[in-house]
Amino acid sequence: MLKKLIQKEALRQRRVINFIPSENYVSKNVLAALGSPLTNKYAEGQAHRRYYFGNQIIDEIEDEVKKLVYKCFKVTPAKYGVNVQPYSGSIANLAAYLGALVDGDPEKLRNGASRILAMSLAHGGHLTHGHSVSWTGKLFNFRHYGVGRDGWLDYDAIAKLAKQFKPKLIVCGATAYPRKIDFKKFRRIADSVGALLMADISHIAGLVVGGAYPSPFPYADIVTTTTHKTLRGPRGAIIISKKELADKIDKTIFPGLQGGPQMHTIAAIGVCLEEALHPSFKKYVKQVVVNAKALAGELRHLGVKVISGGTDNHLLLVDVTPLGISGKTAGERLEKHGIIVNKNAIPYDIRQPWDPSGIRLGTPAVTTRGMREKDMIKIARRIRAILMTDS
């Protein structure tokens, strides 16, 4: 039964036009690593410091994946530590907070060391950037910044909030912000209040590696990312941190939050990083951005409201309420016609999260399948036509 269901899902993925920004299609080599005998091995601890024997080859694999991280992000072991063991981006973010601010002392959670400034989920941030339903929001003292009515970050307003709040850590990075983030400006803001700077680049990591988006280095003290979005890898995560923070964060991952690492996933991360170093990957990520701009431009031309007026990366937000529908209705209508998006709140949304005013669209997956600008224009016209129907 399960085999048949997997086959049905594989068929569904081939038949739809996937505009979910956080999804992509991995290569056969990534799938091969995920399905390899590495899943049989238990390897608690860091490489060369394991609690199980028989890990000589496993150590070599993890070492090689770390080398690929350094190479892809153009950083050096002299200045940065790398951890490729987090099971997910959520765990990576929690580990970064705990390692950098708490360092094994729970008492620090109850005083000023727990103050973090991050982007509001309602304006494009992530649940693990301190939302009240997330344990990050329950454990740490978060304050949030957002975007202006134009949909753009206001760095002067963020700087003013930082001076009022005096955070120990500032988080920049988003899941639904279509414009470039100025990491240099965030560094200046962090320095002005004596805070650490963390960049969550889960959505844009592939764009950064491929040179289609500014890098958070050397500005950020900590960088976290997932590997399954624009990097086209498995569902895992990476933490890159300044050397003085790396050991603390490593200990927070293990034994603090996790047990044995998933070595089949780590190897698959390595495969996707090898692929990201190929010249064709640079062409791919540049086309991802070109496609997103083409999609946003045509939707605007058709009278559809695009938040912030367009995009600089792989995603865009659309306010569908001027069409007389909600984000939930829009997503359901599009899915009936084989176009997959996700419902999403827009800045200053007056609707509820489970039925918000907008939808979020991204071009990583469709670009992997070979689509280009002309396809985006055709699909944009199709999207508008579908959204204007009554069913």
Contacts of 348 (CB under 8 A, 6+ apart): 149
State the pLDDT confidence band at 51, using cuts at 50, 70 and 90: very high
Question: From residue 22, how far is each of 107, 202, 290, 323 by CA, in Å?
Answer: 36, 9, 17, 25
69-110 per-position pLDDT tens digit? 999 999 999 999 999 999 999 999 999 999 999 988 888 877
Only one residue has tokens 């470039």, namely: 180
The whole-model pTM stands at 0.97
The per-residue pLDDT for range 339-350, each reduced to its tens digit, is 999 999 999 999
Q: Is residue 390 pLDDT above 80, yes or no?
A: no
Smallest CA-to-CA distance from 272 within 203, 204, 209, 363 is with: 209
Q: How far apart are CA 110 and CA 50, in angstroms?
A: 33
Burial bucket for residue 64 (CB in 10 Å: 0-12, 13-18, 19+): middle
Query: Could you tell me which residue, 353 or 7, shows the higher pLDDT?
Result: 7
Rounded to the nearest integer, the mean pLDDT of the chain is 97
Q: How confident is the model at residue 136 (pLDDT cuts 50, 70, 90)?
A: very high
Q: How far is CA 320 from CA 7, 100, 125, in A?
A: 34, 40, 20
Residues in Cβ contact with 193 at an 8 Å cutoff, skipping those fewer than 6 apart: 162, 163, 166, 167, 170
pLDDT tops 70 at residue 42:
yes
Whether pLDDT at 12 is above 90: yes
pLDDT for position 112: 67
Q: What is the mean pLDDT of residues 26-36?
A: 98
Distances (CA, A) of 156 to 21, 56, 142, 284: 29, 52, 19, 34
Q: Judge whether residue 391 has pLDDT over 70.
A: no
Give the tens place of pLDDT for each residue, 163-185.
999 999 999 999 999 999 999 99
d(Cα 351, Cα 342) in Å, to the nearest integer?
Answer: 15
Q: Convert the pLDDT of each residue in 115-133 to its tens digit.
A: 999 999 999 999 999 999 9
Amino acid (one-letter) located at 117? L
Strand order in the sheet with 358-362: 305-306, 315-319, 358-362, 342-344
Phi/psi at 268 (5° precision): -65, -35
Res. 224: pLDDT tops 70? yes
283-330 pLDDT, tens digit each? 999 999 999 999 999 999 999 999 999 999 999 999 999 999 999 999
Contact between 44 and 260 under an 8 Å Cβ cutoff? The reply is yes
Q: Any idea which residues carry the catalytic annotation?
A: 42, 44, 200, 226, 229, 235
Residue given tokens 């992000």 in the structure block: 73
Tens of pLDDT, residue by residue over 227-275, are 999 999 999 999 999 999 999 999 999 999 999 999 999 999 999 999 9
pLDDT of 234: 98
